[in-house]
Chain A
Amino acid sequence: MTLSAWAQWSAFIIFAIISIAGALGMATTMSMFRSGIFLMGSFFGVAGLFILLLADLLALLQVMMYIGGMLVMILFMVMFSHDPGGSMMAGMKMSPIENFFSLGIPPEEMEEMEEMEEMDMSGMSMTTPVKMHAAVIGLITGIGLVALLLLRPVWPVVSTLPAPDSARKVGTLLMSKYMMAFEGAGLLILIGIFGAVLMARAGRFAEKPGRDARVAHEDPPAPIDRKPLAPDHPPVGEVPEMEVPEAHGD
């Protein structure tokens, strides 16, 4: 079953706008957490385009790998960063597009504004000082690619529909023709896990700051100063108050 041309175009435009606006928001907002959320929107948009291209397995892979896996890792690492919410940068001078995507971030109240003015504000910014050069290079890249696409003569487009069970085809191909690539990817993941664990653990240079080995140390624990116990029996004449639980009648 194929959709009508109108429905295809509207779905395409919606997903393209979602993916491009998400990527643009990721690149320009001042808040890193918001960047991660924008990136999730962009991944969803691209997954929608995959479905529109009848690559349903890849759309599923996109959602599961990128959004389920990598984005969680990214948001975990955002917590380590300096000023993840962007409130320190929100009061700074921004270009209009950065202003649009950082809308609603409350700027942090700074008490000594005069002292802050004298400080080097370039160390606080989210972007490097070469931001304008980067914007120009990105713009040139985009314009160049789009121009090349528009000037290019048409590709030999065939109009056959792909088979409806793409997962079966991909699985068969992965297990027969691309067996070595499959095994290589598995080996790569294994080596990657080893490398990540090896880098993140405390190793031989445990005396270096930041790589302290978490070992049980030999010092005896500090003595506990304990008060002598209260006498077992209260002095005569004082009846300790006891809470009698209220009996509930049936």
Chain B
Amino acid sequence: MAIPLTAYLIVAAVLFAIGVYAVMAQRSAVMILMGIEVLLNAVGLNIVAFWRYVGPGDYSAQIFLIIIVTVGAVEMGIGLAIMMLLYRNRQSVQVDMFKDLNG
């Protein structure tokens, strides 16, 4: 326990900020999905750090992270299927080519 909890949380906060930047600034849908993965990673690091320092006896935190990873995998698969469909229709995966999908 030499490292304080705040150090881990700061790493997670920096990762989260980078993920926010990547989701908003990137043009390609693949890069946006990568940014979402970084966001999920930051959340997972937060969860594990709190589990270790605040409640190491309760393993619910690890199960929470497992569920998050599962949902992230499903989201990635569906997102890539949508991208594949968009690519076959318009030969592009850049999200600002699809402004007409804006409701």
Contact = CB atoms under 8 A, between A and B. Distances in A.
Contacts of A26: 18, 22, 34-35, 38
A100 interface: no
B26 A128 contact: yes
Interface residues of B, number: 75
Interface of B is mostly: helix
Nearest to A7: B2
B84 A141 contact: no
Contacts of A170: 59, 62-63, 66
Given A46-B15, A77-B30, 7 more contacts: A20-B11, A27-B21, A46-B45, A58-B65, A155-B50, A162-B57, A200-B84
Contact of B77 (A81, A135, A196, A209): A196
A161 B56 contact: yes
B73 A54 contact: no
A66 B14 contact: no
A74 interface: yes
Contacts of B71: 185, 188
B7 A127 contact: no
Given A23-B15, A58-B65, A173 B25 contact: no
A126 interface: yes
A42 B76 contact: no
Interface in B1-60: 1-3, 5-11, 13-22, 24-28, 30-31, 33-35, 37-38, 41, 44-45, 48-57, 59-60
B13 A142 contact: yes
A66 B77 CA distance: 12
A122 to B, nearest CB: 10
Given A170-B63, A210-B89, A134 B24 contact: yes
Nearest to A174: B63
A12 B3 contact: yes
Contacts of A177: 60
Contacts of A58: 44, 48, 62, 65-66
B86 to A, nearest CB: 9
Nearest to B62: A170
Given A138-B20, A159-B1, A161-B56, A19 B25 contact: no
